[in-house]
Structure 1
């Protein structure tokens, strides 16, 4: 077989339930992957495990497999998933029990060694990000289903590709090509028109899930099953390539892929060829994601309607000040969100939102004193007083942190269907990460008339989270647009357009081959998504906000 066809049926825990069946029945596949893990998911599974030591994996996967295991067996499709979460051995046992009950001969293996929680007291979950060679070992030994815990999202693709083509740890360029393909696949329909700036270019009512056709040299074609919704073009693939990345070096446990070497070309309808990817030896250390409970959080959202919004907000702040001072929470944050408009045709569009968020290690501090004080204002505050929802007792929130450990401290192990255990060796060579030299910028557009207009008329964007940081990838649709964007959208201009970044470190990375800029904003998400530091805690819409900001755009581009 010259091409390995790898499809993805899940981009997160809670993705479309029917996707596994759709992928197995919609066309030819060799391997079907499912990505169920994110930073927040690990915290959720950690809390599940507190209640039940036998829990800690994505139960949705089991329910999907109950409907689809027979299909996969009939069609000879192998399944690789990180749904094992915090308990890959437990999920592997559950899959074996399911296969036995259904009378389907399935060899089930799993990968372990990522769980470092015992070495991190106080953490609900501490897991190293493993690469794909444990998966490869399971597949080479005949596994039909491979269950992992915390591996990198791209490892679900690099593992099967390495097993199929016989790649070793030194095949950096080939592995880098598979990493890029895996990164495109990992978020499912985000590669086929979902969450895409130019979604009106195609029918995204129900996007199909993506497929990578991988060749022996690491080249890949991104596509989808015929007849499924959505669309695949250079733009949808570019958007996903920029998602949750940083600079030109995209580091992983198997290889560091050079995103500045990626070449994308349209290879036919719903087909994008990804080639030219260069790889380097991976870093010497592995990333470890640490999830712990950060304390308790409570929120009250006051609705301010009509006239005198600022004065009404000030009155509430003064009225709540006494209660907040008696038992002061560790953190108090007020945000006035001006969703109101003058002479509004509906009450809702005449209303602004005043949000109070409090955090503290003690639940009682953020509970009754805050909620009670807010409710007591019901008949004694601004005209039209009401809140979006009754305040509660305070709920726990999580904190995500990352650290790095030497590879030899992580016992990466493939556990085969027959019980044999195969240690997965670390790569012989490693290379410490370093930034690349800034590439030359294209020639600027000649001077000409401009007019104020939204950035999004000439550029797409996709944004996301990595712990407390956010990235915003911005790309131009044309060469002329790139000549303007590369010179206009500097880090300083980004700070002007996104005011909350003005006091934070903002790094701009230039990727000319993708006609793209990638901005990393450090600390904008506080302690990560589970801490709900800002209105959009995963920065999912930060890029779309940026696209809506007005700049002086050359009329030649409009």
Structure 2
């Protein structure tokens, strides 16, 4: 196996990320591979709607614009680019990259990976794509590709693929593959690993965080860092936060390997350097996850502004009036949220006002269109005192639904399409292991009783990061000292979590302990309804659920404060 470390950087964490990041990463320091992640659950729906309008679309066009003035630079520096920007049409994007290279006179070999599109299996879906692993990417790189375009692969596959090609790992090198998956999970969201969206953002200058990179070694260990002189910072906390993002239990399953998050060890390795080692892996599950999107119907909304006194009574009045107005149209789903942004004796009108948000959904566009618009506007002179809205209801917009399905690995035609046009089938794994729950790990001794406590926000002691997986959300909570971990592990139970976040009180909540990370991960089932595209709640991707938790007050030992 090749002993030289592989330096893999990231230049995109989502469709719409910083446009000049590709150039920044190419000019900022030494790299072997650059990865770009463009595909979130919502992105697949967006690309699906693009493809309805134009069958030749379906990929992230911004990637082509980024390549315009960087493809030559990448070629000169010998940096290979691996990206899932192909979305629903990796062959189309690969052709477009080849055409761009020809126009610029740059001898670039372009390959792509396909086989993830399972739309024919799921009638009625807008998109249906299996999450492929990294071995198709590895095949393209071994055959000399300079740019590899994929469709729906796991985010971490953008790192495991180059690692497999570079180090020659086999399918059964589970620990090594798991190490690469963990490094890939840290890199996949770009600057979230370097201080972006970070609970303790005041620890460094995060006005313009640099993008992360991993120095990956042949044993699967890695060092997470960034180019010298770039903004943001990398420490154990920033890496921990990203490790907890959009995860569940101790077993982090993927198509190539199941990584055991409860074995991950993080240690400082110098300024802006964190070493990841100790990662153990297991054979992957026998089935591949399939992400399906479909149009769920149409939605519309209006926000009423309630100013001054009698806010609750004003809200009740307009709700009753709108309910009567809906008696004929009968929208399938009607949701009201009263947001008490008002203050008593306020010095400005805005701070004297509360917001009452009405959202309606229905399979029929007309039901949430003119019916809502007319009903809301007709109340302008006939409702509560001070009646006005933030904006008139607009045209109904379609909303999407995300659903997960599973297919056996052997039923997906994972294929590497090489620069010369040859098609190499990628064999499925031989060894699989069904997922099962991990037993609760040993926790530290409970802290001594009787210590003085103070009522204070949880966030003075703990960091958090939250995110979405379909209709579920996870909230990872971690602390930075062993003594704080003793307290957190025995204090933040599921019951207390549900008390602090009442929206989760009637939903299934599972707690997973990760002692090596001094972390707890809570999975809240169903809090996001049918997923981000359905806009089920105020924060549809649960991005700030963790920050809400950190703001809640509880009794905290004074010596931890």
TM-score range with shorter-chain normalisation?
Answer: over 0.9
Which whole-Å deviations, capped at 9, do the CAs of 1:78-128 have from their partners, x for residues lacking one? 000000000000000000000000000000000000000111111110000
Paired with 2:405 and 2:106, the residues of 1 have a C-alpha distance of 42
Q: Helix, strand or coil: the match of 1:94?
A: helix
Which of 247, 262, 265 is 1:263 aligned to? 265
Q: Is the 1:248–1:436 Cα contact (8 Å) retained in structure 2?
A: yes
CA RMSD of aligned residues (A): 0.6
Q: Is the 1:364–1:393 Cα contact (8 Å) retained in structure 2?
A: no
1:547 maps to 2:524: no
1:374 maps to 2:394: no
Which of 73, 76, 79 is 2:75 aligned to? 73
Match of 2:197 in 1: 195
Q: Is the 1:49–1:56 Cα contact (8 Å) retained in structure 2?
A: yes
Paired with 1:346 and 1:422, the residues of 2 have a C-alpha distance of 67
Match of 2:469 in 1: 466
Paired with 1:11 and 1:94, the residues of 2 have a C-alpha distance of 22
Paired with 2:511 and 2:16, the residues of 1 have a C-alpha distance of 33
Match of 2:502 in 1: 499
The farther-off stretch of 370-379 and 241-250 is 370-379
Paired with 1:308 and 1:55, the residues of 2 have a C-alpha distance of 52
Q: Which runs of 5+ in 2 are unaligned?
A: none
Match of 1:481 in 2: 484
1:518 maps to 2:504: no
Match of 1:292 in 2: 294
TM-superposed deviation, 1:436: 0.7
Q: Helix, strand or coil: the match of 1:382?
A: coil
Paired with 1:443 and 1:547, the residues of 2 have a C-alpha distance of 24
Q: Is the 2:409–2:429 Cα contact (8 Å) retained in structure 1?
A: no
Paired with 1:525 and 1:209, the residues of 2 have a C-alpha distance of 29
Match of 2:219 in 1: 217
Q: Helix, strand or coil: the match of 2:70?
A: helix
Paired with 1:277 and 1:324, the residues of 2 have a C-alpha distance of 56
Paired with 2:127 and 2:283, the residues of 1 have a C-alpha distance of 28
Paired with 1:488 and 1:454, the residues of 2 have a C-alpha distance of 14
1:232 maps to 2:234: yes
Which whole-Å deviations, capped at 9, do the CAs of 1:109-160 have from their partners, x for residues lacking one? 0000000011111111000000000000000000000000000000000000
For normalisation by structure 1, the TM-score amounts to 1.00
Q: Is the 2:475–2:522 Cα contact (8 Å) retained in structure 1?
A: yes
Match of 2:389 in 1: 387
1:302 maps to 2:301: no
TM-superposed deviation, 1:389: 1.2
Paired with 1:5 and 1:418, the residues of 2 have a C-alpha distance of 27
TM-superposed deviation, 1:393: 2.8
Paired with 2:344 and 2:454, the residues of 1 have a C-alpha distance of 27
The residue correspondences of 1:61-460 to structure 2 (distance < 5 A) are: 61-447=63-449, 448-460=451-463
Paired with 2:314 and 2:150, the residues of 1 have a C-alpha distance of 53
Q: Which runs of 5+ in 1 are unaligned?
A: none
1:533 maps to 2:552: no
Match of 2:10 in 1: 8
Paired with 1:409 and 1:166, the residues of 2 have a C-alpha distance of 25
For normalisation by structure 2, the TM-score amounts to 0.99
Q: Helix, strand or coil: the match of 1:377?
A: coil
The farther-off stretch of 439-448 and 169-178 is 439-448
Paired with 2:218 and 2:447, the residues of 1 have a C-alpha distance of 41
Q: Helix, strand or coil: the match of 2:326?
A: helix
Aligned residues: 558
TM-superposed deviation, 1:441: 1.2
Q: Helix, strand or coil: the match of 2:69?
A: helix
Paired with 1:403 and 1:20, the residues of 2 have a C-alpha distance of 34
Paired with 1:527 and 1:513, the residues of 2 have a C-alpha distance of 33
Q: Helix, strand or coil: the match of 2:317?
A: helix
Paired with 1:18 and 1:392, the residues of 2 have a C-alpha distance of 34
1:42 maps to 2:11: no
